[in-house]
Amino acid sequence: MYVIITYDVEEKRVAKVLKTCRKYLNWVQNSVFEGEITEAKLERLKLELSRIIDGSDSIRFYLMKDKNVFQLERMGNDKSQNFMIY
């Protein structure tokens, strides 16, 4: 499956969330990750993130069966060297 994750967490937890997400997905922008992931790895990622965040934090998961179900348009510089346009 293809997933896009966005997050808004307290500053003291940003580094931990960033590091955790980087293990599974490609960093594309501040607080945004995307990429192909298996359901099992997604569940593992969610479990790891749930141990980091608290009630004031927010993480959104946009799940798609594959990356071909949407069209990406962008403007400006990429924040990541690993960024790929689909």
Per-residue pLDDT band for 73 (boundaries 50, 70, 90) equals confident
CB 32 within 8 A of CB 25: no
Counted domains in the chain: 1
Q: Is the pTM of this model over 0.85?
A: no
Residue 26: domain span: 2-66
Residue count (the chain): 86
- CA–CA dist 56, 69 (Å, integer): 32
Per-residue model confidence as pLDDT tens digits over 12-51: 999 999 999 999 999 999 999 999 999 999 999 999 999 9
Q: Region of 82 please: left (phi>0), alpha (psi -120 to 50) or beta.
A: alpha
Q: Is residue 86 predicted with pLDDT exceeding 60? A: no
CATH code for the domain in which residue 51 is found: 3.30.70.240
Q: Which two tokens stand for residue 23?
A: 């293990």
Q: Is residue 83 predicted with pLDDT exceeding 60? A: no
- CA–CA dist 60, 46 (Å, integer): 11
